[in-house]
């Protein structure tokens, strides 16, 4: 039997898209299977690990818990949307430089959680970084390098703002 699934529209990484899929299909699966955005990873599949984190309407969500129908009309950002015109996001640069990118499973979710944190709090303390990434698990317990990567990105951004202010004087 051919089933005609309803149209679900949303914006993904600033591009409009439309899918025809079962409305209760997990956003995680729609991203990976239908939109071929494989950067978002599945860890636990139960909302516990944060590997599948994406940003939806400015909030960090576990895409394994979001039925795609809830994404109707939403603006979604995945890890593929962090780089701009092939230039890595400062967080991605710092994860590379500071050894925060240790495995392919947790890193995309960590990056999205860190992007969310820095947008809300551009100058977080180490304690705030720990708290901001508390929903994201690193199973190999390499948390320190991840936290240091986020701190480095925040420090870099702060220095560049200060530099610009100095030039403007």
Q: Say how far apart CA 152 and CA 141 lie, in whole Å.
A: 19
Q: Which is nearer to ligand FES, 107 or 118 (CB)?
A: 107
Q: Say how far apart CA 50 and CA 63 lie, in whole Å.
A: 9
Which of 40, 51, 78, 92 touches ligand FES (CB under 6 A)? 51
Does 138 help bind ligand FES (rule: CB under 6 A)?
yes
Which of 31, 64, 115, 154 touches ligand FES (CB under 6 A)? 64
Label residue 82 exposed, middle or buried (CB < 10 Å: 0-12, 13-18, 19+): buried
Least gap, CB of 87 to ligand FES (angstroms): 24
Q: Which is nearer to ligand FES, 48 or 158 (CB)?
A: 48
Least gap, CB of 40 to ligand FES (angstroms): 9
Are the C-beta atoms of 137 and 71 separated by less than 8 Å? no
User: Which range in 8-16, 48-56, 71-79, 148-156 contacts ligand FES by CB under 6 A?
Assistant: 48-56
Ordered alpha helix ranges (H), 121-142: 126-132
């Amino acid at each position: 039997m051919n089933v005609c699934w309803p149209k679900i529209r949303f914006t993904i990484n600033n591009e409009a898209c439309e899918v025809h899929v079962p409305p209760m299909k997990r956003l995680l699966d729609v991203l990976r299977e239908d939109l071929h955005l494989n950067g978002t990873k599945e860890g636990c599949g139960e909302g516990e690990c944060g590997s599948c984190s994406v940003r939806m309407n400015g909030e960090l969500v576990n895409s394994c818990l979001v039925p795609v129908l809830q994404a109707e009309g939403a603006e979604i950002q995945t890890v593929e949307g962090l780089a701009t015109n092939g230039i890595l996001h400062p967080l991605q640069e710092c994860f590379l430089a500071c050894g925060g990118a240790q495995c392919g499973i947790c890193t995309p979710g960590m990056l999205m959680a860190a992007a969310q944190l820095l947008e809300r709090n551009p100058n977080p303390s180490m304690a705030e970084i720990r708290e901001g990434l508390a929903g994201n698990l690193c199973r190999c317990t390499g948390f320190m390098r991840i936290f240091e990567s986020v701190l480095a990105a925040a420090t870099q951004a702060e220095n560049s703002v200060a530099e610009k202010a100095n030039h403007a004087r």
